[in-house]
Amino acid sequence: MGIVTFSGGSFGNGTTIPGRGFARGIEPKEGGTMDEIVIPISAASDIVTARLAGREAAERAGFKSTDLIVVSTVISEMARNIVESALPGEIAISICQESGKAGIVVIARTSLTKEFHDLFFANRLRRSMDECKINYKPGETVLTMKKWVDVWAQ
């Protein structure tokens, strides 16, 4: 597994940008994730970049219609919270499989302190995803969220 840092570009129309972690035809391994795309977040334009990368990853994971919107919205909110905090941060996105389920993992890393977790870890984000975990270390907050493809909605 590798990490691909993505800091801009135009996509979402089916084109592949060299260096991106999600290439057509690549499937995640059981229990693992595909290459992770890491988007540094510091400006409003980074919110759009993260949202589009998340939408494309969610499509590749097998999400349809409403769930694509949910994943994109959650990523936008996470990135917006980082931008509004005026602290450095990043969003990492990858596709995963566990116990035969396909899904997406979104990780937000920032230097927000525990006092600001209510802003960062809003209830509406928790309710929109299937799994949520927040870890605090000195000088860093890591929010990990997963959403699984709903096979019944296909």
* Separation CA 154–CA 150 (nearest Å): 7
Phi, psi of 71 (to 5 degrees): -60, -45
Burial label, 98 (beta-carbon count in 10 A; 0-12, 13-18, 19+): middle
pLDDT of residue 114: 57
- Domains detected in the chain: 24-153 (3.30.565.10)
Q: What is the pLDDT of residues 16-31, one digit of tens each?
A: 333 334 333 334 444 4
Which tokens in the block code for residue 59? 């499509």
Burial label, 20 (beta-carbon count in 10 A; 0-12, 13-18, 19+): middle
**Most confident stretch, 45-54, 96-105, 125-134:** 45-54
Q: What is the pLDDT of residues 81-102, one digit of tens each?
A: 888 888 889 999 999 988 888 9
